[in-house]
Amino acid sequence: MNWKTKFFVLVLVSIPAFVGYPVVGYDSEIVSGLTFGWAAYFFLANLIILAIHGGRFYANVLAVAALVSIPVVFVGGTISYLISLSGLGYAAGQSAYSPHYLSICVTMLTVIPLALSMMGAIPFQRFEQGLLQNSAGVSKFEKGILMFLRVFNHIVFFVIPNILETVREEGQYRKWIQHQGPESLKVSSTSKASMLKTRISALITDMVQLAVESICASIQYIPLWAVEISQLPDKKRET
């Protein structure tokens, strides 16, 4: 299957996420906030992504979707709950928080993998090499496209895999500390409230660090690439 066919199939699969049909037609709820339509669409979309791109690519895409969804769903739910406790929210708000954020979570874990998979189906590296090897030179517009391709390829094939590898290694290290390290390094179990507070604080810290590392890793080579691309020979005008 060539990249055009893959991209076309993924575009067709993504249509229900934008138009709502036929997902909204199956509005019976499995649990509050999750309908049969969205549950079936979630599994179908992810299975198609797995079949088209393979297990390794799918695992990375799902991990990225989860990392994006965590702060939106859990931090957003926490803020909404605190606003309700303060009396600023409407009285019946708390009963709607869980269904609302469950729906958002399922939607994001469906739409984000689809979007990343569509971008991953396009051979941006091939396009970049084609522009670099063009014997006729490169126009200003093509230089702009080349910069975009360079940054995109760097993020997709370098930044994201490295970030995910860092997350995996840190998770394994923390498990080893908890099970093998001295008792003083283990999470205190004196109260569930303090344990929950510690985990939430660690989660927020990790997300901030990941965001900062991702941004820094994404832009660190842009000045170098800008100089390199600007020095490419300009396309000769036909006379």
DSSP sequence for 132-192: HT-TT-B-HHHHHHHHHHHHHHHIIIIIHHHHHHHHHHHHHHHHHHHHHS-GGGSPP-S-H
Q: Is the pLDDT of residue 239 over 60?
A: no
pLDDT-based confidence at residue 91 (cuts at 50, 70, 90):
low
Q: What is the mean pLDDT of residues 153-169?
A: 76
| Sequence ranges of the domains in the chain | 3-122, 127-230
Asked if 138 and 213 count as a contact pair (C-beta separation under 8 A), the reply is no
Q: Is the pLDDT of residue 168 over 80?
A: no
pLDDT score, position 100: 81
- Nearby residues of 226 by Cβ (< 8 Å), 6 or more positions away: 147
Q: In the predicted model, what is the mean pLDDT of the chain?
A: 79
What length is written for the chain? 239
Asked if 138 and 232 count as a contact pair (C-beta separation under 8 A), the reply is yes
pLDDT score, position 44: 94
Q: Is the pLDDT of residue 20 over 90?
A: no
pLDDT score, position 188: 47
29 DSSP β-pair partners: 35
> In terms of pTM, does the model score above 0.85?
no
Alpha carbons 188 and 192: distance in angstroms, whole number: 9
**What type of residue sits at position 136?**
A
Name the percent of the chain lying above pLDDT 70. 80
- Nearby residues of 174 by Cβ (< 8 Å), 6 or more positions away: none
CA distances from 43 to 11, 29, 40, 205 (A): 16, 16, 5, 31
What does residue 71 show for φ and ψ, rounded to 5 degrees?
A: -65, -35
31 DSSP β-pair partners: 34
**Longest alpha-carbon distance in the chain:** 82
Other C-beta atoms lying within 10 Å of the C-beta of residue 106: 19
Q: What is the mean pLDDT of residues 95-113?
A: 85
**221-237: pLDDT as tens digits:** 888 888 888 888 887 65
234 DSSP β-pair partners: 138
**173-218: pLDDT as tens digits:** 565 555 555 544 444 445 666 776 677 677 677 777 777 777 888 8
* Chain centroid, CA 9 distance in Å: 20
pLDDT score, position 84: 72
**21-61: pLDDT as tens digits:** 888 888 888 888 889 999 999 999 999 999 999 998 898 88
Supply the DSSP symbol for 58: H
